[in-house]
Amino acid sequence: MTPSLLSLLRKVDTPTVCNAIEVAQGKRGFNGFTRGTMLCSAPDEPAIVGYARTAKIAAVDPPTEPADVIKARRMAYYKYMAEGPAPSVAVVEDLDFPDCIGAYWGEINTTVHKGFGMSGALTNGVMRDLGDVPEGFPVVAGSVGPSHGFVHVREIDTPVTIFSLTVNPGDLIHADRHGALVVPEDVVDQLEVAIQKLLTTERIVLDAAAQPGFDFDAFSVAWSEFEKART
């Protein structure tokens, strides 16, 4: 991922990237995105962009493993998150889903992960402390709740599932208030051009529709130009 692509990805929303991937692939049908409604701690901040650092947690029931095992895995988790290639995104599956109760993402954890240089977090689980999440570290989560429950780390660096989206360690993530997607490896080198093409072609219809006197005939002309430009 080039610096210019990273900058562009942070400026556009996830639906734009979804569409641009289809432009790069030359067809409809891209399906590497989350399903259902997710919540964002900072809907007006730039999108979360980075390479996935994955883990699994649980919180409904107390851990059954020895305390020293749980502690060692917790510290291994933080080491793993701190040492990922930049930019990175914490992608954490809550195994209690859809009955998640433990808010792993609160003021302390978001501040720690931001301190590691991470771009944000994606989870099917719970977030809290919404007024205290640091600026520049958005969380896209499945729900909001007040308690951490018995939250503990179960796995590190394994494939996870977030709202029907499978994420593997190292996948390139784009996420915002609409949800999240995984950018296919084979389109990364085409994505910047595809986004620019998409933004340019969409202006054909958007600019026409904003003009005084816009009617069906004007729409028909604009739509014809739009379809020619996007093929």
Tell me the pLDDT of the chain averaged across its residues.
97
Q: Give the Cβ contact number of residue 227 at 10 Å.
A: 12
Confidence of residue 155 (pLDDT cuts 50, 70, 90): very high
Q: Tell whether the model's pLDDT for residue 84 goes beyond 80.
A: yes
The H-assigned helical ranges of the chain are: 3-11, 14-25, 67-82, 107-115, 188-209, 216-230
Q: Which residues lie below 8 Å from residue 170, measured CB to CB, with a gap of 6+? A: 51, 52, 85
The Cα 30–Cα 40 span in angstroms is 23
What the chain holds in terms of domains, given with CATH numbers, is 31-183 (3.50.30.40), 189-230 (no CATH)
SS3 20: helix
Confidence of residue 231 (pLDDT cuts 50, 70, 90): low
The Cα 118–Cα 112 span in angstroms is 9
SS3 19: helix
Where is 92: in which H helix or E strand? strand 88-94
Range 209-229 average pLDDT: 95
Q: Tell whether the model's pLDDT for residue 223 goes beyond 90.
A: yes
Burial zone of 41 (CB within 10 Å; 0-12 exposed, 13-18 middle, 19+ buried): buried
- Per-residue pLDDT of 24-70, as tens digits, reads 999 999 999 999 999 999 999 999 999 999 999 999 999 999 999 99
- Per-residue pLDDT of 190-202, as tens digits, reads 999 999 999 999 9
- Per-residue pLDDT of 125-152, as tens digits, reads 999 999 999 999 999 999 999 999 999 9
- Residue 134 has which token pair? 């640091």
The Cα 58–Cα 42 span in angstroms is 24
82 DSSP β-pair partners = none
Of 15-19, 25-29, 71-75, 102-106, the least confident: 25-29
Range 154-170 average pLDDT: 98
Q: Look up the pTM and report it.
A: 0.95
DSSP secondary structure letters along 171-224: -EEEEETTEEEEE-GGGHHHHHHHHHHHHHHHHHHHHHHTSTT--HHHHHHHHH
